[in-house]
Structure 1
């Protein structure tokens, strides 16, 4: 199943300005982040939890950022 990361992308832009800046904060390469945001790779639980902290949203919001099905 493919997921819609548009809400996550918006939050990244809002907080970090660019995906590159967010990738750095996440200690991840920009290509690795891009592969996750395009659905080529999956986010790990650790990456999701760290994203939650870095992007300042409550863990209860994880489904809306990471698991919204693509329509």
Structure 2
């Protein structure tokens, strides 16, 4: 399952200016954060609350930022 992190990316730029600055605040390398935002690896259980704190994301908004599933169209042959 892949997640759409476009809203999260927008919030990161809004609050930190760059993904690199946010990665630093999270204690992650730019490559590690990039992998997460591109569905290469998952955000850890401790990373989501940390990111929410840093980005001022309310508990009721977490799903919109971290758990919006990318719907893939599968064409039938």
Q: TM-score, normalised by structure 1?
A: 0.97
Q: Which runs of 5+ in 1 are unaligned?
A: none
- Counterpart CA distance in 1 for 2:46 and 2:18 is 21
SS at match of 2:46: helix
Larger Rg: 2
Look up the match of 1:10.
10
Q: TM-score, normalised by structure 2?
A: 0.89
- Per-residue CA deviations over 1:36-63 (Å, capped at 9, x if unaligned) read 0000000011110000000001122111
Tell me the matched-pair count: 71
Structure in which a larger fraction of residues adopt helix: 1
SS at match of 1:7: helix
Look up the match of 1:62.
62
- Counterpart CA distance in 1 for 2:51 and 2:60 is 13
